[in-house]
Amino acid sequence: MAGLYVHFPFCAAKCIYCDFYSRVRKDWKPYVEALLREIRERSEERKGVHPTTLYFGGGTPSLLPANQLARVAEEVTTGHLFEEFTLEVNPDDVTADKAAAWREMGANRISMGVQSFNDNHLRWMRRRHTAAGAVAAFGRLRAAGFANLSLDLIFGFTGLTDEDWLHSIAQALALQPEHISCYQMMGRWADPDEDRCRQQYTLLQERLEAAGIRQYEVSNYARPGFESRHNSAYWTRAPYLGFGAGAHSFDGDRRRSWNQPDIDAYVASRPGGSETLTDREILEEKLMLSLRTVQGLSLASLSPAERATLKQTTLEELSRAGKLIVEEGRIRIPAAELFVSDAVIRRLFPD
């Protein structure tokens, strides 16, 4: 399953935790024209990957006027039937008119960045919405006919108590979304108490599982059948094309390429770069991406040379420690250890 990603690097304000390329500016008309130009110029590449998913991300795509988004959607969907078309939105951008326009342009899945249902925390993160505003936005999306809604939440930041975290989880569940993504705060605002962060991660797993929203990847949970098809393709190293400033592309084998993360440079000339992965880098990618998922890695997906690099002693040691499950031709990290998945995965990297 291949996908197309379109990046809209515009924001009304920069959130304290965001590492994605975006700028606080509103001169999106020249950017949209450059985006349309790139999509047309790469039409043969689109045919080559046979995309089945489309993702409008950012930045804040919902900040743009609906007619501008619709122009991009019309151009990029020409000749393709997408099983899943996701649009990232912020709650304060969701009006009844915009929601209807998003449905009209073909979006059938919304990923809404709520992050918290505590107004004090939202102000600290520099979010523009309130908890009540997020609830109202969710209602407008449902009223517009969206039957596949995802909410983003953040945990593991300084000052977040277990009580606060459970409140946000409960509020999210009360809305009955099909999907929830939860990310641990990183960088200078992260809670340095790893035990407390792990406890919050465990609380999340327990509450969502009890509500029928099952974990399928380190940070992602869904009702059965509502897993993100687009993001799931990344974890299997399926090919994808990225359009826009800072967007990345992958051929499904060993070539990765990208556009420079600079709006002005993109509008002027679309500079970028590329790299060819080594055999070692490919193996490390396979391990890092597949073992993020609950299903884990099929050993049959590795070449004989790749399988030979996996040290049996390391597999046995991790298995005895409860960090890894090796069974029926697969290796996977048990749910209780997904919080430390990166450390487990690095143990499997070749020397």
Taking only the tens place, the pLDDT of each residue in 103-145 is 999 999 999 999 999 999 999 999 899 999 999 999 999 999 9
- Provide the pLDDT for residue 154: 97
Helix, strand, coil fractions of the chain, as percent rounded to 5: 45, 25, 35
Which residue type sits at 255?
R
pLDDT band at 19 (very low <50, low <70, confident <90, very high): low
pLDDT exceeds 70 at position 18: no
- Provide the pLDDT for residue 21: 65
Taking only the tens place, the pLDDT of each residue in 243-281 is 999 999 999 999 999 999 999 999 999 999 999 999 999
Residues of the chain with CATH 1.10.10.920: 278-351
Mean pLDDT computed over 70-76: 97
Phi, psi at 298, each rounded to 5°: -80, 125
Between CA 81 and CA 53 the distance in angstroms is: 8
- Residue 36, token pair as written in the block: 């349309």
Phi, psi at 15, each rounded to 5°: -70, 150
- Provide the pLDDT for residue 1: 66
pLDDT band at 20 (very low <50, low <70, confident <90, very high): low
Between CA 13 and CA 346 the distance in angstroms is: 36
Taking only the tens place, the pLDDT of each residue in 96-113 is 999 999 999 999 999 999
Mean pLDDT computed over 8-15: 81
Residues of the chain with CATH 3.80.30.20: 2-234
Taking only the tens place, the pLDDT of each residue in 194-242 is 999 999 999 999 999 999 999 999 999 999 999 999 999 999 999 999 9
- Provide the pLDDT for residue 336: 95
Taking only the tens place, the pLDDT of each residue in 311-327 is 899 999 999 999 999 99
pLDDT band at 49 (very low <50, low <70, confident <90, very high): confident
Neighbour tally for 230: CB within 10 Å: 27
Q: Looking at the domain covering 2-234, what would its CATH class be?
A: alpha beta
Taking only the tens place, the pLDDT of each residue in 156-183 is 999 999 999 999 999 999 999 999 999 9
- Provide the pLDDT for residue 22: 67
Report the topology of domain 278-351: Arc Repressor Mutant, subunit A (1.10.10)
Between CA 315 and CA 134 the distance in angstroms is: 45
- Residue 159, token pair as written in the block: 């000052």
What is the pTM for the complete model shown?
0.96
